[in-house]
Chain A
């Protein structure tokens, strides 16, 4: 029983990371109809920015402060990269969805190649505070502290995004734009600026996800291809949740992570363990799409 609770918490933490990546993808698609295959780059660059700040720019005397600064760097780098991508590459191609998709694929390939060129294929290790590598006892349970960090971060970002979309004028513009972009323009609102905001928010969440994924699930290691690996699961989460639905992404992220972790853990042990878990996620996607083609909370076309 204690194992079940521990792996459930671990799955929820993984779901929080999936949500951080998927939330941006979902918002971007919902407002702009752009399938952003470069989202993984925002994630990877965020992780490298966090590593650079924590390991090189900040004295290790205060590891908590160093990690906090590295998280800020990850968020800032993801956001800046996303904003630049929208302004320079996506904006000139509005109304040409295939071109937009191709340019994001090209950017992803180019940036991953560039990162391999700069850092090589060896993983880099992010210095983390000792607390993050230890566990907390809750009764008989031993829960890794990293899981709490991921869970807390996912919950805070979900609450912040929900508040932003519900309560701010920009949030209302984004929700309205997902329904009818032309009518938003016909009210005198420059939808283009909302596009940049959405991209930036998505990039910030992805940058944070990149750092958390490395720290919590990858032994504090980062490598240039980690963004692409997570992006596949994020796309699955977005499709299961329903394209454009933030709440759908949150629910789907948790479900996908639970399926993946439970199958990986209970289906046995061996070299194919991870692949079995991954395969179960694809099967879950197929079942959801067969029963509910628009996803859990997606809109009808």
Chain B
């Protein structure tokens, strides 16, 4: 069943209406309503297990879901993943999912879905990827794999980036590097990201959406993350930590 998306607006890059998804019999998403304004960075927040990653995966058609899904002006509910991505969506998964037995160059080559791949941009953002182009991706460090995963989606010019925990497991130095890159690229596209690090969210995002038990429980401005009580109540963590 596809839920209606009343008032679908060109001002939103992503619109989810009453999105529901089950995994192994558990109701993970129980009616997510979400709008991602075009040209902005929206952060999806919430405690572990509330459905943040599932929301991103359902939006990309990576798992079966019911409800309205509108991406870049197209109703994509039921579409195969590759067709949704070809609308101009870049996806960086939580665990990077680089192809371990392919070289860095081959990983990038897979992402050449347009006639003019932006290798200059990628090597400018991540010079290490050029130096390690013949190295197997499985032998890269976690930070280098994250660079490759981000570089891979930036290779074609995409209007929408969907990024799942870009700073997870990275050292503070690499977190800073990834944030700088995302700040630079987000000026030219829309970003929907899941991120646990409140400080990163405050640096990058303009809108925050908080999920709890498979539903959106709060939508607001990223500046609200400065309010200690709100952060503690919604996320169970300290905003100043």
A residues in contact (CB < 8 Å) with B:
169, 172-173, 175-176, 179-180, 182-191
Across the A-B interface, give the 3 residue pairs with the lowest CB-CB distance, nearest first: A188-B85, A185-B81, A183-B97
What residue of chain B has the Cβ atom nearest to residue A191's Cβ? B82
* Residue from A173, A175, A176, A188 whose CB has the most chain B CB atoms within 10 Å: A188
Chain A CB within 8 A of B101 CB: yes
Q: Across the interface, which residues of A come within 8 angstroms of B85, CB to CB? A: 185-188
Contacts A173-B110, A175-B99, A176-B110 given; indicate if A183 touches B93 (C-beta within 8 A). yes
Determine the distance from Cα of A186 to Cα of B80 in the docked complex, in whole angstroms.
10
Q: Across the interface, which residues of A come within 8 angstroms of B62, CB to CB? A: 182, 185-186
Contacts A185-B80, A186-B81 given; indicate if A175 touches B101 (C-beta within 8 A). yes
Chain A CB within 8 A of B113 CB: yes
Partner of B91, one of A176, A186, A189, A191: A186
Determine the distance from Cα of A173 to Cα of B111 in the docked complex, in whole angstroms.
10
Contact call B97/A180, Cβ cutoff below 8 A: yes
- A interface footprint on B71-112 (CB within 8 Å = 1, 0 otherwise): 000000000111001100001010001011110001101111
Partner of B99, one of A169, A183, A185, A191: A183
At the interface, is chain B mostly helix, strand, loop or mixed?
A: loop
Determine the distance from Cα of A207 to Cα of B108 in the docked complex, in whole angstroms.
35
Chain A CB within 8 A of B60 CB: yes
Chain A CB within 8 A of B70 CB: no
- A interface footprint on B98-133 (CB within 8 Å = 1, 0 otherwise): 011110001101111100000000000000000000
A-B contact pairs, 18 of them (CB 8 A): A169-B110, A172-B110, A179-B100, A179-B102, A182-B81, A185-B81, A185-B85, A186-B60, A186-B81, A186-B93, A186-B97, A187-B85, A187-B113, A188-B85, A188-B111, A189-B82, A190-B80, A191-B82
Contact call A188/B86, Cβ cutoff below 8 A: yes
Q: Across the interface, which residues of A come within 8 angstroms of B107, CB to CB? A: 176
Q: Across the interface, which residues of B come within 8 angstroms of A180, CB to CB? A: 97, 99
Q: Across the interface, which residues of A come within 8 angstroms of B101, CB to CB? A: 175, 179
Contact call A187/B152, Cβ cutoff below 8 A: yes
Q: Across the interface, which residues of A come within 8 angstroms of B109, CB to CB? A: 169, 172
What residue of chain B has the Cβ atom nearest to residue A188's Cβ? B85
Contact call B106/A172, Cβ cutoff below 8 A: yes
* Residue from B62, B97, B111, B113 whose CB has the most chain A CB atoms within 10 Å: B97
Least Cβ–Cβ distance between B16 and chain A, in angstroms: 18
Q: Across the interface, which residues of A come within 8 angstroms of B152, CB to CB? A: 187
Contact call B102/A176, Cβ cutoff below 8 A: yes
Least Cβ–Cβ distance between A141 and chain B, in angstroms: 41
Least Cβ–Cβ distance between A169 and chain B, in angstroms: 7
Chain B contacts with A in 19-62, Cβ cutoff 8 A: 60, 62
* Residue from B80, B82, B86 whose CB has the most chain A CB atoms within 10 Å: B82
What residue of chain A has the Cβ atom nearest to residue B149's Cβ? A183
Q: Across the interface, which residues of A come within 8 angstroms of B97, CB to CB? A: 180, 183, 186
Contact call B99/A179, Cβ cutoff below 8 A: yes
Q: Across the interface, which residues of A come within 8 angstroms of B111, CB to CB? A: 187-188
Determine the distance from Cα of A187 to Cα of B89 in the docked complex, in whole angstroms.
9
Contact call A190/B110, Cβ cutoff below 8 A: no
Q: Across the interface, which residues of B come within 8 angstroms of A183, CB to CB? A: 93, 97, 99
What residue of chain B has the Cβ atom nearest to residue A173's Cβ? B110
What residue of chain A has the Cβ atom nearest to residue B106's Cβ? A172
Q: Across the interface, which residues of A come within 8 angstroms of B113, CB to CB? A: 187-189
What residue of chain B has the Cβ atom nearest to residue A181's Cβ? B81
What residue of chain B has the Cβ atom nearest to residue A177's Cβ? B99
What residue of chain A has the Cβ atom nearest to residue B60's Cβ? A186
Determine the distance from Cα of A185 to Cα of B82 in the docked complex, in whole angstroms.
5
Contact call A176/B80, Cβ cutoff below 8 A: no
Determine the distance from Cα of A182 to Cα of B152 in the docked complex, in whole angstroms.
15
What residue of chain B has the Cβ atom nearest to residue A183's Cβ? B97
Determine the distance from Cα of A183 to Cα of B81 in the docked complex, in whole angstroms.
9
Q: Across the interface, which residues of A come within 8 angstroms of B102, CB to CB? A: 172, 175-176, 179
Q: Across the interface, which residues of B come within 8 angstroms of A169, CB to CB? A: 109-110, 112
Contact call A190/B99, Cβ cutoff below 8 A: no
What residue of chain A has the Cβ atom nearest to residue B114's Cβ? A188
Contact call B82/A190, Cβ cutoff below 8 A: yes
Determine the distance from Cα of A174 to Cα of B106 in the docked complex, in whole angstroms.
12
Determine the distance from Cα of A190 to Cα of B106 in the docked complex, in whole angstroms.
17
Q: Across the interface, which residues of B come within 8 angstroms of A189, CB to CB? A: 82, 110, 113
Determine the distance from Cα of A220 to Cα of B101 in the docked complex, in whole angstroms.
42
Q: Across the interface, which residues of A come within 8 angstroms of B81, CB to CB? A: 182, 185-186
Determine the distance from Cα of A237 to Cα of B17 in the docked complex, in whole angstroms.
52
Determine the distance from Cα of A182 to Cα of B112 in the docked complex, in whole angstroms.
17
Determine the distance from Cα of A182 to Cα of B63 in the docked complex, in whole angstroms.
10
